[in-house]
Amino acid sequence: MLDLKKLVSWLSGTSQQKVEPATDNAERRQFQRLHMDDCEVTIAQSKPFPVSNLSYGGFRADLAGWQGLDALQTGTTHDCQLKLQNVQMVCRITIRNLFGTLAGCAFANFSPVQSRVVSDFIKPRILGDSLREINTAKLKNDSPELKMRWFQGDDGVQVFLWQTVEGESIKQEFYFFDYFMSWDKAGDGLQTGKIKTGNRGGFGRISPDSVAFFRIPPYRALKLGRTILECSKLPDEARDQILREIAAEEKRLFHRYIVKDGGVLFVTDKPARHELMVLNVSMNGMALYKTPEADLNCESPLNGNLIIGEKSVAAVFQPAYSHACIIGGQLLISGSESIRNFEAFLAPRLLAQYLEEVPAPPEPPPFAPPNARCYLYTGLHNTHLLSLIGAGGRLHSGRIAFMDRALRFHGNTFSEYRCPEGLIFPGDWELEASIAHPFESLEPLTMLICREMIENAEQVAPEVKKAWLDLLPGSS
């Protein structure tokens, strides 16, 4: 049974260990390698063995303790299961060399999807390692009273830093892939956007007018930006502040749901009745819009009810700060039924809020009808929405995945899977039997969360939303 409390805890995020890229200047192999300390491989039903380095072409594993090691020979090909932090895939490898218990393994017969899995894992780490400081003499400094520093890496990755004469960091810009991040000591924290099509060319700064800024930064942008910076050798002053800004945004992102159109109200009952619009809410806090006529004592807890649709959830609000017409503070919900109702409201909306469209799989699946169109959206952690839309806007095949669940639609039938590791690659149409275990029947709560997730996903194309909502049970 789906545990809502476990789902909400999963949404809060988990820290991941830092992976340092290899920096051996004497490296002469075909592919640059990453030193790893939290990845593993399972070969022929063996126990998992640690992967010590990884490249686009293969990896090295320490097979100490494996009973089949003595019989292993170079040139032989084997099936294996590779786990790269929170990504897992089944693949084939060829043993290229053996040195004691260490085996050098090359990927064999890699599919485009498998290549993309490895590339998406390696690329931001290698890009981070490529960042180096260069001369800024040829660039215009818009703040001549400040010293501007420029760090440049492969594939257009750049960091611009402005400092005072004393060395204090004042503002920063960060370019990577098609994303743009900036912060200003005198501003309102981190700004995140996507560079508009046709406005990205080579190196150098671009105008803010060329960036479409996000109201809520997407999880993918924060995750990629953090990985690049963590794996870089930038000086502390060029990465620590922006990493703190990213970490703060991630913390808010995992917890906070931005309420739209006055969809949630907090109605106080003591000492007086007031209806206050909820601006954002999490399991432990919320922000309210205080109308001028609302005479509130913000020094004492406010008792009342959260009105969510037709449901009322008893709550206590303890104000902690006030800014203009906004009051923010802690939220306390008591009672198992109230907590469950609130979790059921919050979880699918957090899942929906951060879905962002990314390039769909380059090759349609073999079962795709003529002229079908693929869509792919990714979100928090392993959350994703994969859709194959056929003629007339009909959903031909697709998958909604979050936490350890995957709801699949194929052959005019829904089926539900449990994925203990939560490691389905978004662009892979097929579910590996070793990763996904089918349920005997559909769980109503899973179906409800999927429906509400689709209903509240603002970034999902209307034709995709309609295709799913036409089939998912329930009503808006």
pLDDT reported for residue 457: 92
Q: Which of 298, 316, 345 is the last residue of a domain?
A: 345
> Residues 234, 270: one domain?
no
pLDDT reported for residue 136: 77
- Note whether residue 418 is domain-resident: yes
Q: Which domain holds residue 440?
A: 356-469
CA distances from 181 to 20, 159, 212, 225, 375 (A): 23, 9, 11, 9, 26
- Note whether residue 27 is domain-resident: no
> Residues 326, 426: one domain?
no
> Residues 125, 142: one domain?
no
Q: Which of 345, 375, 410 is the last residue of a domain?
A: 345
> Residues 180, 106: one domain?
no
> Residues 138, 211: one domain?
yes
pLDDT per position as a tens digit, 117-151: 788 888 999 999 999 998 877 777 778 888 999 99
Res. 470 pLDDT band, cuts 50 70 90: very high
- Note whether residue 21 is domain-resident: no
pLDDT reported for residue 16: 45
- Note whether residue 384 is domain-resident: yes
> Residues 236, 138: one domain?
yes
> Residues 239, 305: one domain?
no
> Residues 364, 447: one domain?
yes
Residue 172: pLDDT over 90: yes
- Note whether residue 195 is domain-resident: yes
> Residues 194, 96: one domain?
no
pLDDT per position as a tens digit, 369-382: 998 999 999 988 78
pLDDT per position as a tens digit, 152-168: 999 889 999 999 988 89
> Residues 302, 341: one domain?
yes
Residue 18: pLDDT over 60: no
Q: How many structural domains are present in the chain?
A: 4
Whole-model pTM: value is 0.66
Q: Which of 234, 255, 276 is the last residue of a domain?
A: 255
> Residues 147, 50: one domain?
no
- Note whether residue 20 is domain-resident: no
pLDDT reported for residue 476: 45
- Note whether residue 39 is domain-resident: yes
Res. 17 pLDDT band, cuts 50 70 90: very low
pLDDT per position as a tens digit, 226-285: 999 999 999 999 999 999 999 888 777 666 788 877 789 999 886 678 888 998 888 888
CATH code, domain carrying 287:
2.40.10.220
> Residues 341, 272: one domain?
yes
- Note whether residue 11 is domain-resident: no
